């Protein structure tokens, strides 16, 4: 499973939110499919720009991720590299595109069920569930006691402790 991190959680949540709000979705289109919409969020590229980059490789996102070579500097490798930087593996890319990660499916609201890769509502629930699972992993990794030992180092902390 993907490496849990805040950037990936935020990207999955923003992608799901954009899909809910009506952004263009078409599973057969590199720029507006499951991974294409995630890449729009991560790269700030348009669906048309993503299509141009993706067409420098051969196949769907699954094949592009498996054939990715970090040395080539081909434009499609830039897109795959962005997904890799988020903590995704080629298997994760495949699972996002086909909605197949069994762990995510087991954690869907209402329990396990198979989702359809080309149904926008299924993509939304998959991405939201995936993000929630990654958030849980992150929460388990946080040592809350260390935050109380030195509250001045907590980002955004504006509370000043006063000795009583």
DSSP per-residue string spanning 49-108: HHHHHHTTS-SSHHHHHHH--TTS--HHHHHHHHHHHTT--HHHHHHHHHT--HHHHHTS
For the record, the structure tokens of 134 come out as 């990654």
Tell me: the pLDDT tens digits for 53-103?
776 555 555 544 544 444 444 455 677 788 899 999 989 989 999 999 999
Against a cut of 0.85, is the pTM above it? no
- Burial class (CB within 10 angstroms; exposed 0-12, middle 13-18, buried 19+) of 71: exposed
Contact (CB, 8 A) for 38 and 18: no
Percentage of residues of the chain with pLDDT beyond 70: 73
Contact (CB, 8 A) for 48 and 31: yes
């Amino acid at each position: 499973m993907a490496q849990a991190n805040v950037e990936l959680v935020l990207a999955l949540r923003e992608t799901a939110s954009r899909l809910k709000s009506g952004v263009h979705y078409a599973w057969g289109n590199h720029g507006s499919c499951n991974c294409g919409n995630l890449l729009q969020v991560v790269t700030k590229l348009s669906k048309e720009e993503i299509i141009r980059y993706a067409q420098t490789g051969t196949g769907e996102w699954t094949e592009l991720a498996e054939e990715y070579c970090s040395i080539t500097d081909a434009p499609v490798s830039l897109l795959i590299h962005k997904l890799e930087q988020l903590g995704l593996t080629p298997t994760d890319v495949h699972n996002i595109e086909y909605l197949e990660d069994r762990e995510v499916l087991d954690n869907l609201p209402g329990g396990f069920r198979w989702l359809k890769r080309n149904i926008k509502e299924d993509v939304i629930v998959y991405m939201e569930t995936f993000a929630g699972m990654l958030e849980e992993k992150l929460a388990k990794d946080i040592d809350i006691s260390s935050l109380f030992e030195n509250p001045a180092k907590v980002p955004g902390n504006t509370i000043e402790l006063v000795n009583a």
